[in-house]
Structure 1
């Protein structure tokens, strides 16, 4: 098996807003302290739906990177890179397209969902149909075993697992694989070899996942095994052949639903956003002019916070004391709507001030951004090439 590794990406399609921060970036900051992480700019993915407006993508890349840094994502703790700067993404995508059944792509839930949501765009393209396979290439290229996703994206991770299994089944069977695996077993020592055989039988015949996990640990703890023998034994345990591509696991993230200024989900398409690093006066004006409970026509009318979009902001930004003050004051007409909004304004401005401070060195010196991305792309390319060497060899394309 390979070391723990997290991979996640974001499409550069415009300025980032608080929905991106609370939905993705805060989680990245947490993950970078716990695991080796790779975070990438998914510019090719953006082209699957914005193929007719590439300039938006080009203009958004560097601004988005500044927003990542402003949010606290740290290039000293994580690797940043641009998808298109690592051509191995395209190579692996192409090779996997040779054996990926068309029906697998057509049944991905988001395929038809996105076509319906973006019905004004012509998405009857090869690139749009194949984007889940490109996503799989992104993950499998780095042998990432952890992919942070929301519940709606779980089918993408399962699709990637199926692609990895199919690849390993088709191409992981080296000549004499079983004999080589049995020879590798001997290197475990007699006692551990017997235990390995028992665990393999329990997993393959009884579906005992605990036995599989115990077998994986047994292989990893064996100091006598080289890389090739280690992979043979993992594949023999799993029943797939040599494990060339690693099946990823999903890190299910429960991001808070960030409301927009109108109470709907915050989205640029709804025009209801507060952008990261937005000017303080602009933020204050947007929140002060937010709609509130329609029942509060006059200052003296009691209201219901549950029917007011501002309350959704209090759920994210206010503590229990402020929330109690809002509930009591709104329902009794003891406070006005502008009073209710002020703690939200103060909290967002305080959050944004920290972001602007973090971003300032990169705004003043864009060369720092280029250096971070150049170093990250080089690191990502090295990791990708390790995988591609194994993939080419397994498919008979190494010609060495």
Structure 2
């Protein structure tokens, strides 16, 4: 099967923080399994242009890009089959973003959730300017996301529920371009939401998120991992008292990594009144064992940034071979082609 007849799946990897257990269970693990499917042409990219919208700390952006790349490689991303690259290495992406901006209705961007939330915050704070502190990056980033997707004519884009709107916007922009320039230049992408993917709870019982500062980073050293697992919030039930596994963050984290049999055994132990100290030790030991080898690979990769650079360079070469051809065609389409 040729690369162009395979289903194309595209996944963006955020580069604004250190990957944590919630990222692994919710996005990284299923995506890495998908990268090994030879019937699919997968594109995985570090969304580092997007990072600039939220973070103006160059050191943090640089660190996060390296940590994110090392994480995915340490966990087994198949870079022979999948195309793995940095967004900022594909110089055609900002060019396509501008072309799409020129056909995208401003009213469509006005309806973007992130923009509306920022305006609502200003209104709640009674700022005279509803757009106070809102950059063009925040306002227009659905167009950049559309360019990421449409550049490679992705058929499917795995996203969380909060991102479905952006895929719909990409479809809208693609349809508008196709209509204006009278051709099928872009495939209309589909959002793929995996309802089975768990949203892990964090240390305090709320969704594990950098913004709540309640995360367990994937590759913290052993002692730090033990400390964080011990901080997971539990109730005051004594050893011997039956406990409800379904309302327990500790059980949820364990079952996200354990086999069905191991999860069933832990469920029985909860009903039989396992003590919280024993449960936390068991969860720590299980996680530590599960993450030991990837943690070693991750630390080795961080010590060898030249290897990561080489992998990303090869991925960018594969991606740009296609992007350059696409853009040459699109330039001619809009009237920016060569004279001879």
Equivalences, count: 324
- TM-score scaled by length of structure 2: 0.87
Separation (CA, whole Å) in 2 of partners of 1:395 and 1:253: 37
Give the direction of change, closer, same or farther, for the CA distance of 1:307–1:247 in structure 2 (3 Å limit).
Answer: closer
Distance in 1 (alpha carbons) for counterparts of 2:265 and 2:282: 8
Contact 1:115 1:123 in 2 (8 A): no
Partner of 2:44: 39
1:386 partnered with 2:329: no
1:328 is aligned to 271
Which whole-Å CA distance do the structure 2 matches of 1:41 and 1:117 have between them?
29
Question: For structure 1, which segment, 4-13 or 108-117, has the greater mean C-alpha deviation from structure 2 after superposition?
Answer: 108-117
Aligned counterparts of 2:240 and 2:290: Cα–Cα separation in 1: 32
The equivalent residue for 1:6 is 9
Distance 1:285 1:266, change over 3 A: same
The gaps in structure 1 that reach 5 residues or longer are 173-241
Q: Structure 1 residues 2 and 167, CA, compared in 2 at 3 Å: closer, same or farther?
A: farther
Given that 1:283 and 1:345 are in contact with CA atoms closer than 8 Å, whether structure 2 keeps it comes out as: yes
Give the corresponding residue for 1:132: 142
Q: Structure 1 CA distance, aligned partners of 2:177 and 2:242?
A: 63
- Looking at secondary structure, tell me which structure has more helix per residue: 1
**5 Å matches for 1:232-271?**
242-254=183-195, 255-271=197-213
CA distance in 2 between counterparts of 1:348 and 1:114 reads 38
Q: What's the offset of the Cα at 1:259?
A: 1.3
Structure 1 residue 117: Cα displacement:
7.9
Structure 2: how far apart are the matches of 1:381 and 1:9?
Answer: 16
State whether residues 317 and 344 of structure 1, in contact with CA within 8 Å, keep that contact through their aligned partners in structure 2: no
**d(CA) in 1 for partners of 2:228, 2:63:** 25
The CA deviation at 1:134 is: 0.5
Please show how residues 120-269 of structure 1 align to structure 2 within 5 Å.
123-172=133-182, 242-254=183-195, 255-269=197-211
Mapped partners of 1:289, 1:266: distance in 2: 13
**Mapped partners of 2:265, 2:277: distance in 1:** 14
Give the SS at the match of 1:130.
helix
In structure 2, the residue corresponding to 1:275 is in which secondary structure? coil
Kindly provide the CA deviation profile for residues 206-263 of structure 1, in whole angstroms up to 9, marking residues without a partner as x. Answer: xxxxxxxxxxxxxxxxxxxxxxxxxxxxxxxxxxxx2112211222223211111111
Measure how far apart 1:53 and its partner are.
2.3
Distance 1:301 1:251, change over 3 A: closer
Question: What RMSD in Å do the two structures reach over aligned CA positions?
Answer: 2.4
Aligned to 2:67: 63
Q: Is residue 15–residue 51 contact of structure 2 (8 Å, CA) maintained in 1?
A: yes
Instruction: Give CA-to-partner distance per residue, 1:133-166, whole Å, 9 cap, x none.
Output: 1100011111111111123222211111111111
Q: Tell me if structure 1 keeps the 8 A contact 2:67–2:302.
A: no
Q: Is the 8 A contact 2:243 2:270 kept in 1?
A: no
- The 1:299/1:320 distance shift into structure 2, 3 A limit, reads closer
- Flag structure 2 segments of 5+ consecutive residues without an equivalent: 126-130
